[in-house]
A and B are shown apart, each in its own frame.
Chain A
Amino acid sequence: MSLPDDPLDSATRAQAVPVLTARPSVRSHQLQQVEGPGAPQLIELRGTSLIIGRSPEAEVRIPSSSLSRQHVRLDRGDDGWTVTDLDSSNGLYLNEIRIYSAELRDGDTVQLSDALFVYFEGR
């Protein structure tokens, strides 16, 4: 038996409810490299545009001889990131289909020759 002044056992007390505010944390969109030279690595997608390729000038450099120097470009849009093939020799594959470009969605796989990435949407 509880004591009468136990707050969990007494009647709910009516009171003015102060409105609380929470700021959801911002998590950036990410590409996780799961296969190929350099894997595993997690790439945080920041800014407005970045290049993935073999070139040392690429923002994301993949040291694989089968990647083009500038293989794909990622551009930030209103609804996440778009990946575009930069006329690469070995192409861009989205979920195993060769494409020219696409807006990425959570869980998509992006393959550039022997490098495989998984895209995670942030918020």
Chain B
Amino acid sequence: MSCFVRFWGTRGSIPTPGRKTHRYGGNTSCVEVRIDDSMFVLDGGTGLRELGVDLLKRGPAPVRAHMLFSHMHWDHIQGFPFFVPAYLPNSRLSIYGTFTGDRRHHQLLSGQMSSDYFPVDFSSLNANIVASDLGPPTGRIIEGVAVRCFDQRHPGGSYAYSLEKDGVRVVYSTDNEVDLGLADPAAAQRDLAAPRELPPELVAFCRGADLLIADGQYTDDEYVKKVGWGHPRASTVTDLAVQAGVGQLAIFHHDPMHSDDHIDALVGECRERVARWGSGVIVFAAREGMTLKLG
């Protein structure tokens, strides 16, 4: 079994091109997970455009992709109208809803291509774009990969996804204000050094993942001014990674105001926290153009 995870866009909220973001990248959320011959695409932010270009370079085989969207905010869908395989007649793109019969993601994705927003209508895309869903809460097996989702805390809602095959597991959890789900959110603010009391269901969902890709947009100082905006403290997702016993934590959905150096400092604080808990979790910042091999 082989599992490759490639980051095509790691930025949150809005693309941030420029020198200050050269190292971690300016494209918004898009992660490619290749498990054996199956390809899963997690979110379709502006990074999706470059994935499309790369897929064409890989060879003439038709593109077949399973597309999972955390939610439909702009920074997670904006690359779709520029995803070249969507224009090719032999591509097959499956767009998943999160429960049996759920077609919202497919509908909202086509909505952003209505004429008021975009010159090409969704109906004129040549690919075979199929609306599907993950079925019951226990999830679904797609080409041998167990796919499950988890309801998160974000304005308008969002979902985390777990992809697992032969004991190798990736969890993608972006746009999740974990801090609002703490047993006592005020206690966390009073004592930032204390371990966060996390929702047990979320810890269970992430339990034992080889890689947890998690929104870690804010520093402790920033979060106080951004409560309710839908994103957590990086320190809280660090505790999540530790308590769930994951192998690696990729801090994701970088704040558009954060320069590369700022992100390095944030990751440094997360690593100190991991060391304080005596944990071996490896923490790093998700970086555009980087591929990890798991298992």
Interface membership of chain A positions 93-108, coded 1 if the CB is closer than 8 angstroms to chain B and 0 otherwise: 0110111111101101
Question: Considering the complex of A and B, which 9 residue pairs feature the smallest CB-CB distances, nearest first?
Answer: A103-B289, A100-B293, A102-B290, A100-B291, A105-B23, A101-B291, A97-B284, A99-B292, A100-B292
Known pairs A82-B289, A105-B22, A108-B23. 7 more at Cβ < 8 A?
A85-B293, A97-B284, A101-B291, A102-B287, A102-B289, A103-B290, A106-B22
Bound-complex Cα distance A97 to B250 (A): 11
A106 contacts across to B, CB distance below 8 A = 22
Count B-side interface residues using an 8 Å CB cutoff.
12
Closest to B25 in A: A103
A102 contacts across to B, CB distance below 8 A = 287, 289-291
What are 11 A-B pairs at a CB distance below 8 A?
A82-B289, A94-B290, A97-B282, A99-B290, A99-B291, A99-B293, A102-B290, A102-B291, A103-B290, A105-B22, A105-B23
Bound-complex Cα distance A52 to B87 (A): 39
Interface membership of chain B positions 6-18, coded 1 if the CB is closer than 8 angstroms to chain A and 0 otherwise: 0000000000000
Count A-side interface residues using an 8 Å CB cutoff.
14
Bound-complex Cα distance A44 to B287 (A): 25
| B4 close to chain A: CB less than 8 A | yes
B282 contacts across to A, CB distance below 8 A = 97
| Nearest-Cβ distance from residue A108 to partner chain B, whole angstroms | 8
Contact for A101 among B22, B23, B284, B290, CB less than 8 A: B290
Bound-complex Cα distance A97 to B282 (A): 8
| Nearest-Cβ distance from residue A7 to partner chain B, whole angstroms | 39
Query: Which chain B residues (226-285) contact chain A, with CB distance < 8 Å?
Result: 282, 284
Closest to B248 in A: A97
Bound-complex Cα distance A99 to B289 (A): 11
| Nearest-Cβ distance from residue A77 to partner chain B, whole angstroms | 9
Closest to B288 in A: A103
| Nearest-Cβ distance from residue A78 to partner chain B, whole angstroms | 10
| Nearest-Cβ distance from residue A46 to partner chain B, whole angstroms | 21
Contact for A100 among B4, B284, B287, B288, CB less than 8 A: B4
Interface membership of chain B positions 95-134, coded 1 if the CB is closer than 8 angstroms to chain A and 0 otherwise: 0000000000000000000000000000000000000000
| Nearest-Cβ distance from residue A75 to partner chain B, whole angstroms | 12
| Nearest-Cβ distance from residue B195 to partner chain A, whole angstroms | 25
Closest to A97 in B: B284
Bound-complex Cα distance A100 to B4 (A): 8
Bound-complex Cα distance A29 to B178 (A): 42
Bound-complex Cα distance A108 to B287 (A): 12
Closest to A94 in B: B290
| Nearest-Cβ distance from residue B157 to partner chain A, whole angstroms | 32
Bound-complex Cα distance A95 to B293 (A): 16
| Nearest-Cβ distance from residue A47 to partner chain B, whole angstroms | 19
B291 contacts across to A, CB distance below 8 A = 99-102
Residue in B22, B289, B292 with the greatest tally of chain A CB atoms within 10 Å: B289
Bound-complex Cα distance A85 to B290 (A): 12
A108 contacts across to B, CB distance below 8 A = 23
Query: Which chain B residues (19-48) contact chain A, with CB distance < 8 Å?
Result: 22-23
| Nearest-Cβ distance from residue A106 to partner chain B, whole angstroms | 8
Query: Which chain B residues (31-85) contact chain A, with CB distance < 8 Å?
Result: none
Bound-complex Cα distance A102 to B10 (A): 14
Closest to A107 in B: B23
Bound-complex Cα distance A101 to B5 (A): 10
A98 contacts across to B, CB distance below 8 A = 292
A97 contacts across to B, CB distance below 8 A = 282, 284
| Nearest-Cβ distance from residue A88 to partner chain B, whole angstroms | 11
Bound-complex Cα distance A85 to B284 (A): 19
